[in-house]
Amino acid sequence: MSDEDDFDLDELINSHSGKSSPSDKSLEDYEDDSVESEEKHSSDVDIVDYDISEEIKFDEDINLDDLMPDEDSDFEVELEPSKPKQSGTIEAFADHVLRELEKRGLPPTPLNYEIYFQELLYKESEEFQERVFEILDREGKKRSDERKNEIEETLQHSLKLTQQLLLLTTKVHGNINIMKNIASKREDELNVKSSKDIVRLLKFDLGKLDNILGRQSESMKSIYGRAVESANTLYSHTIFDKNFDVYNRKYFLESLNNEIEKMEFFMHSSTILLLIPHRKLTVKHLTKKVAFAVLKTVSKILMEEFKRSDVVSYYGNSIFGVLLTHSTIKDSEDKIGRLTKALKHSALFIGGKEIELEVKIGLSDLSPNRKVENSLMKALDALKIANRSETKVYEVVK
């Protein structure tokens, strides 16, 4: 494989219709290594003592097309956000949200109001945002969200323990068979010593033991099968990725389909964003632990930078997917500018060495006039173009 073949998305593109990602396999052993890290971000990103799952295919090169960068490209990302508005009272802001819904022809339902409340809030001054967030926290919304995340994390932990128990049960079953073989060998040794009465009694006892072990063995097989089926069912209902504390691929695809239905009814715009670390931050140039730390840090920043109504997920093969609800291409480009600025002012320190965080982004609109798979394909095509460019941070394919 050539040095330029850094990232191959062909397999990912062919599987984006909803197949499970490599991380959806059974539980593997985890390395218990720690990486000392610091981050120059608005809130610290803790990546110390994380587990590295062998299921994450960091050792597989991901090759985008080996095309040369567009020499005529003069693309630059606008990093400076627009100047915050002068904020007034919370009551006046609430009226502003209602007027915005009316202007867009949207009914003032609780969900629509919440979406635009959050969207418009990020355009206000930081002081006003802090006042509103304090009120929201006192209402318990933040605690409710944290509780949901805690339940999900507990479920993920329980699934891991269940899978470990199933693996242990398999070993116990194997040891029982070994014990039966040893008993048979000892029986042969007694026959050589001509102890007929002892052999006869031993055969009788071993016969009873063999019947009991046979029934227990069949029961264990049956219970094991039902437990595996139950564990797989539980896993299919999880919505969070176990490694990066964001939504998983399955929930991301479901959210895209649900958003299509809302767009058809409310006639608003939404977009799909796919993001991947720069090729120099992959396992081709870094160790597996450091590459994982980069992904972990990027996932933390994504959760901080996008509003609650957006869906941040791990799409697979080191790619993160984000559903930007009620967001036009222009709105999304502004958000990419803010994200790029946040990444620029963030850094990862491992072993005293600073690692600058750089990403490539593909952006496409989510259209009710085509299938979700087609919209994803557009975003993946955009990601390919951005990834093989030396100057572009993101590309748009509509």
- Angle separating helix axes 288-305 and 329-344, nearest 10 degrees: 130
Determine the longest span between alpha carbons in the chain, in angstroms. Answer: 102
- Angle separating helix axes 90-103 and 126-139, nearest 10 degrees: 90
Q: Following DSSP, what letter does each residue of 340-379 receive, concatenated? A: HHHHHT-EEEETTEEEE--EEEEEEEE-TTS-HHHHHHHH
Q: Is this model's pTM higher than 0.75 or not?
A: no
Please report where in the chains the tokens 């009465």 appear, as a residue.
197
CB 279 within 8 A of CB 358: no
Domain boundaries, the chain: 1-82+243-398, 145-236
* Nearest-angstrom CA–CA distance, 341 and 129: 19
CB 331 within 8 A of CB 365: no
What's the CATH code, domain 1-82+243-398? 3.30.70.270
Q: Where does residue 380 rank: exposed (0-12), middle (13-18), buried (19+ CB within 10 A)?
A: buried
Give the pairing of strands 270-277 and 319-324: antiparallel
* Nearest-angstrom CA–CA distance, 297 and 58: 16
* Nearest-angstrom CA–CA distance, 296 and 298: 6
2 Cβ contact partners less than 8 Å away, ≥ 6 residues apart = 66
Name the nearest CA neighbour of 166 among 27, 60, 4, 5.
27
pLDDT at 123: 87
Phi-psi region of 274 (alpha: psi -120 to 50; beta: other; left: phi over 0): beta
* Nearest-angstrom CA–CA distance, 14 and 228: 28
* Nearest-angstrom CA–CA distance, 126 and 265: 34
Count of beta carbons in the 10 Å neighbourhood of residue 265: 9
pLDDT at 161: 76
pLDDT at 8: 53
pLDDT at 53: 37
74 Cβ contact partners less than 8 Å away, ≥ 6 residues apart = 391
pLDDT at 190: 64
Name the nearest CA neighbour of 28 among 65, 61, 54.
54
Give the pairing of strands 359-366 and 319-324: unpaired
Q: Which residues of 169-186 are buried (b: 16+ CB within 10 A; e: fewer)?
A: eeeeeeeeeeebeeeeee
pLDDT at 79: 36
* Nearest-angstrom CA–CA distance, 101 and 94: 11
CB 335 within 8 A of CB 82: no
* Nearest-angstrom CA–CA distance, 263 and 341: 30
* Nearest-angstrom CA–CA distance, 307 and 338: 12
Indicate the DSSP class of residue 83. Answer: P
Q: Give per-10-residue mean pLDDT for the chain (398 aa).
A: 48 50 39 39 37 37 40 39 55 91 89 88 87 73 63 74 76 75 70 63 72 75 77 80 92 94 89 96 89 95 89 96 95 95 88 90 96 96 95 95
